[in-house]
Amino acid sequence: MMHILISNDDGWGAKGILTLVKVMRQYGEVTVVAPSGPQSGQSNAMTVGEPVSLDLVSEAPGLRIYTCSGTPTDCVKLAFHQLFTDRMPDLVCSGINHGDNGTINVLYSGTMGATFEGTVHGIPSIGWSICNHDPDADFSEMERWMPELMRLILAEPYAFGRCWNVNAPAGRIKGIRFTRHCRGYWAKEWKMVEEKPGHMLFTLAGDYVNLEPEAEDTDQWACANGYISVCPDSIDMTDYTVLKHLQEHA
Amino acid sequence: MMHILISNDDGWGAKGILTLVKVMRQYGEVTVVAPSGPQSGQSNAMTVGEPVSLDLVSEAPGLRIYTCSGTPTDCVKLAFHQLFTDRMPDLVCSGINHGDNGTINVLYSGTMGATFEGTVHGIPSIGWSICNHDPDADFSEMERWMPELMRLILAEPYAFGRCWNVNAPAGRIKGIRFTRHCRGYWAKEWKMVEEKPGHMLFTLAGDYVNLEPEAEDTDQWACANGYISVCPDSIDMTDYTVLKHLQEHA
CA separation, residue B25 to residues B8, B15, B63, B98, B228 (Å)? 16, 16, 8, 20, 22
Q: Is B209 on the interface with A (CB under 8 A)?
A: no
B147 lies in a domain?
Answer: yes
Residues 73 through 102 of chain B touching chain A, CB cutoff 8 Å: 73, 77-78, 80-82
A130 lies in a domain?
Answer: yes
B82 lies in a domain?
Answer: yes
Domain of B7?
Answer: 2-183+212-248
Please tell me the pTM assigned to this model.
0.97
Query: Number of folded domains in chain A?
Result: 1
List chain B residues with CB under 8 Å of A247.
178
Q: Which pLDDT score, from 0 to 100, does residue B1 have?
A: 87
A174 lies in a domain?
Answer: yes
pLDDT tens per residue, range B38-86: 999 999 999 999 999 999 999 999 999 999 999 999 999 999 999 998 9
3-state secondary structure string across chain A: CEEEEEECCCCCCCHHHHHHHHHHCCCEEEEEEEECCCCCCCCCCCCCCCCEEEEEEEEECCEEEEEECCCHHHHHHHHHHHHCCCCCCCEEEEEEEECCCCCCHHHHCHHHHHHHHHHHCCCCEEEEEECCCCCCCCCHHHHHHHHHHHHHHHCCCCCCCEEEEEEECCCCCCEEEECECCCEEEECCEEEEEEECCEEEEEECCEEEECCCCCCCEHHHHHHCCEEEEEEEECCCECHHHHHHHHHHC
B37 lies in a domain?
Answer: yes
pLDDT in tens, chain A (250 residues): 899 999 999 999 999 999 999 999 999 999 999 999 999 999 999 999 999 999 999 999 999 999 999 999 999 999 999 999 899 999 999 999 999 999 999 999 999 999 999 999 999 999 999 999 999 999 999 999 999 999 999 999 888 899 999 999 999 999 999 999 999 999 999 999 999 999 999 999 999 999 999 999 999 999 999 999 999 999 999 999 999 999 888 7
List chain A residues with CB under 8 Å of B193.
51
Please tell me the distance in Å from A82's CA to the nearest CA on chain B: 9
Closest residue of chain B to A152, computed from CA coordinates: B250
A203 lies in a domain?
Answer: no
Please tell me the distance in Å from A73's CA to the nearest CA on chain B: 9
B177 lies in a domain?
Answer: yes
Please tell me the distance in Å from A131's CA to the nearest CA on chain B: 18
> Are the beta carbons of A107 and B44 separated by less than 8 Å?
yes
Q: Is A233 on the interface with B (CB under 8 A)?
A: yes
CATH number at residue A141: 3.40.1210.10
ipTM above 0.85, yes or no: yes
Q: Which pLDDT score, from 0 to 100, does residue A42 have?
A: 98
Please tell me the distance in Å from A188's CA to the nearest CA on chain B: 7
